[in-house]
Structure 1
Amino acid sequence: MNSGDGDGRTGRTVGAVARIAKVTVRTLHHYDEIGLLSPRGRTPAGYRRYDEADLGRLQRILFYRELGFPLEEIAAVLDDDSVSPSEHLRRQHQLLTDRIAHLQKLAAAVEHAMEAEKMGIQLTPEEKFELFGEHYREEWETEAEQRWGSTGAWAESQRRTGGYGKADWERIKAEGDALNARLVEAFTAGEPADGGPATGLAEEHRQQITGNFYECGHEMHCCLAEMYVADPRFTAVYEQLAPGLARWLHDAILANAARRTGGQA
């Protein structure tokens, strides 16, 4: 065996092993003192010498340390005579697979946080679910940027919401909930979508968007109305309030735009 430092017949010196494994000499001394890695060889003067089996054990120790195992648990795992070298490899593979999956979840969480920051929504995930309900999904924010990130409305929404805190979002949610309650009341009362009460509520809906996010003209409002019936996720928001409400609101928005623009929306 080519020992690197020291006498090739007696193994590698502690300094050579420290350099190979990128650990400190003090670490190797500690492992020896607690019986976790006691090298098989010694020189006549008592200096440690590590052979290939010692290096293999050190490699396994460092692997488990990287995964956060305490030294006592590592010793128990490595000293279990019922576990073969191939079983150690299978365990390591499974642990690595689990670690990769965990890191991927962490990376996804960081990406979501980055997207939320871009959206200007300075809220914790708990606050988002508290304010927007159990149906809120953070990926909607990413999708919104992908669809409208190049528009002036998006830029204006970014600028305005960038300064919003939790109190602002609570106010916006309260306004929206109150409007939704009046929409349900008018719809269940049988108000026609093109009647005065319905179009008045549709106009209030448009004004809330303009007041809180971006200038929502009637043409833009009609585009949103189409989404309320074309995208099942948007439809579900209103259908859970009252079956048929999404289509009714869609028709009310179009009727309001026609009434206020002379059919030019």
Structure 2
Amino acid sequence: MRNIAEIKLPHNLQMAYTSKFCYQHQCQYMLINNKELCTVCETEKLTQQLEREVANELIARQTLAKYNMLYKQSILQDETLLDAGFKNYIVTDHEETANKERALNALKQFRKGEVFNIWFTGNTGVGKSHLAMALLRSLNEFDRHVTCLFADVDEMLRRIRDSFQNRENKFTEKYVTDLLTSVDYLVLDDLGAETGDIDTEKRASDYTSRILRGIINARQNKSTIITTNINRTKLEAMYDRKLVSRMMKNTYLIHFAETKDKRIRNIEF
């Protein structure tokens, strides 16, 4: 990016005043290297050009920052998820094929500007997080002016708790809440896992419910994608029914009922 002070004039520059007069700036024209011009007019043109360059560079930086948010600010336990896409989601049965198509259909609706929530439900290891990240990456590539973020719920809460004792930890409750509510598209991954074993009757703590409630309430006009291994009955027992109802508002469901755990599918004992 240039500024006026960096613009150097030629050493052999020849200048002389002419009889022509600039009434706008009340000054004589000058003959500069055989070209008659008003120096004030030329300075204004140069200033406008530099201002456009600065504005364009600022827009480019802002656009890049939005694009990079998914890769630099997501809250992950498994960094390999950042490589998850539709192309490397391998389908092996009818249900996987159908659910991949449902996810791609949701992507088309998002690209049209529709606002709704997606729930990926089913057993662990079936590819819910993979497809959720694939959606975010596709949206990120389609429009670099939107912001996308992936947040593992358990990791998010762990970082917030760590900030209680560690002042250098930026992941305070306010920072995380503001971050997750500000983005256009958010994945809340593995909802319910923060309570421990999904087969227990544990309820989420009041603190956890308060954080989730604050995020969901602030995202009523934005799209949120949620993955969970827990069915609705257990979710309503784990959290208050009003919170679950708001999370399920205008929901597009992608459910895995039969797909086996992809992580251990080929492991035999």
Give the structure-2-normalised TM-score: 0.30
Give the structure-1-normalised TM-score: 0.30
Instruction: Give the structure with the larger helix fraction.
Output: 1
Higher relative contact order at CA 8 Å, sep ≥6: structure 1 or structure 2?
2
